[in-house]
Amino acid sequence: MYGLLFRALFARMDPEKAHHLAFSWIRCAARIPVLRTFAAAVLAPRHKALRVEALGRRMHGPFGLAAGFDKNAEGTDGLAMLGFDHVEIGTVTGQPQPGNPKKRLFRLVEDRALINRMGFNNEGSAAVAARLAARDAVFPTTLGVNIGKTKAVTEADAVGDYVTSTEALAPHADYLVVNVSSPNTPGLRNLQATEHLRPLLTAVREAADRTVTDRRVPLLVKIAPDLADEDIDAVADLAVELGLDGIIATNTTIAREGLGLTAAPALLAETGGLSGAPVGDRSTEVLRRLYARAGDRLTLIGVGGITTAEDAWRRILAGATLVQGYTAFLYEGPFWMRTVHAGLARRLEASPYATLAEAVGADHRKVTV
């Protein structure tokens, strides 16, 4: 059904326009009481066994929407209605900015992948904070807020820009994510080096504690799949040392591996971050390495190329407490979350683990004889 809609309508449209159209339908459905009740009942049946506790929150399940879909927090209620157990908004920057010139989003349909160089198009931290303050949720969900650097701000002033966003947005965040891994803001990924990351994360932590005094806002960092293994270890060590709550692994990749031969060469030459199925193996490797290094001292969120329930399950066994997806949502449509939840529940039931929490990182505890 969705496959037909995708081929007949979305695939014929510019990908960014298709995104805006689909998102406007979701927001519209969430405003109509009969429709939203029906949609939630059909698309988001709950599985008790999948309940998780993470980042100080009780969630219906482990499966959330990754950052970038709802950059300005315009439709969190509609996205929760569709069955996402948490929704991460952003990336939001200190100041509003238009992002890169269009066209900046490309579909690689055969590969179930996307290339994007959106460049953090967003309304800025003040506007997004105002929207979140006025939010009236029918489907309460765990809200992650992902922050990044304004392009016009120099690397030397980056910390101040993240602090501006933290002060505006931390009061509305169930968890906060420092994004230093988008390939589309020049120099941003240099902030992953520990000598830059340490002062940045320390300043954001302090700003969050200064701004929100009645609870502790969990803080995570989101990293790229392109980091060298020793840099992954260094980020894990730093996160543990600074008392961070977790790491999100991973963002999109600048590599072009794992693609079929069907994609047009012109498409492969587009600059930007590759997401979807081809990034899955590397994202899993990064996650596995983080868990091997930090174990349960960090809450790991696995993202990158998750399409099926099996993908999500494998990510949990590799060390993820929560998982996220974005690209497959576009290709699989509104029944995707229901399918993944049902598949996860079946896998848990058939496994030796009583709860999802027990399954987290189980791969690392396997005894080989």
Q: Which of 64, 99, 246, 325 binds ligand FMN (CB under 6 A)?
A: 325
The neighbour count for residue 133, using CB atoms within 10 Å, is 10
Identify which range of 93-101, 112-120, 164-172, 284-292 contacts ligand FMN by CB under 6 A. Answer: 112-120
Strand duo 273-276 + 299-303: pairing = unpaired
Interaction with ligand FMN in 173-212: which residues (CB under 6 A)?
179, 182
- CB of 138: closest distance to ligand FMN in angstroms? 25
Q: Rounded to an integer, what distance in angstroms lies between the CA atom of residue 299 and that of residue 226?
A: 21
- CB of 323: closest distance to ligand FMN in angstroms? 9
Q: Which of 304, 319, 333, 334 binds ligand FMN (CB under 6 A)?
A: 304
Q: Which of 99, 246, 305, 361 binds ligand FMN (CB under 6 A)?
A: 305
135 annotated as belonging to a binding site for a ligand:
no
Active site residues: 182
Residue identified by tokens 């891994």 is: 181
Q: Which of 29, 114, 143, 317 binds ligand FMN (CB under 6 A)?
A: 114
Residue 79 found at the interface with ligand FMN (CB under 6 A): no
Q: Rounded to an integer, what distance in angstroms lies between the CA atom of residue 108 and that of residue 95?
A: 32
Q: Rounded to an integer, what distance in angstroms lies between the CA atom of residue 19 and that of residue 13?
A: 9
Among 336, 339, 303, 283, residue whose Cα is nearest residue 68: 303
Interaction with ligand FMN in 47-76: which residues (CB under 6 A)?
66-68, 71
Evaluate whether 211 touches 167 at the Cβ level (below 8 Å): yes
Residue 147 CB contacts under 8 Å (≥ 6 apart), including other chains: 90, 91, 92, 93, 125, 162, 165, 166, 169, 176, 177, 178, 179, 204
User: With respect to ligand FMN, which residue has the nearer C-beta, 36 or 303?
Assistant: 303
Among 134, 121, 128, 122, residue whose Cα is nearest residue 167: 128
Q: Tell me which residue has its CB nearest to ligand FMN.
A: 68
166 annotated as belonging to a binding site for a ligand:
no
Q: Rounded to an integer, what distance in angstroms lies between the CA atom of residue 196 and that of residue 255?
A: 24
What is the total count of residues that contact ligand FMN (CB under 6 A)? 28
250 annotated as belonging to a binding site for a ligand:
yes
- 325 SS3 class: strand
Q: Rounded to an integer, what distance in angstroms lies between the CA atom of residue 284 and that of residue 323?
A: 11
Binding mask 337-366 for ligand FMN (x = CB under 6 A): ------------------------------
Q: What residues are designated binding site?
A: 67-71, 91, 116-120, 146, 179, 184, 222, 250-252, 276, 305, 326-327
Q: What residues are designated binding site for substrate?
A: 71, 116-120, 179, 184, 251-252
Q: Which residues bind ligand FMN (CB under 6 A)?
A: 66-68, 71, 90-91, 105, 114, 116, 118, 120, 146, 179, 182, 222, 251-252, 275-276, 279, 303-306, 325-328
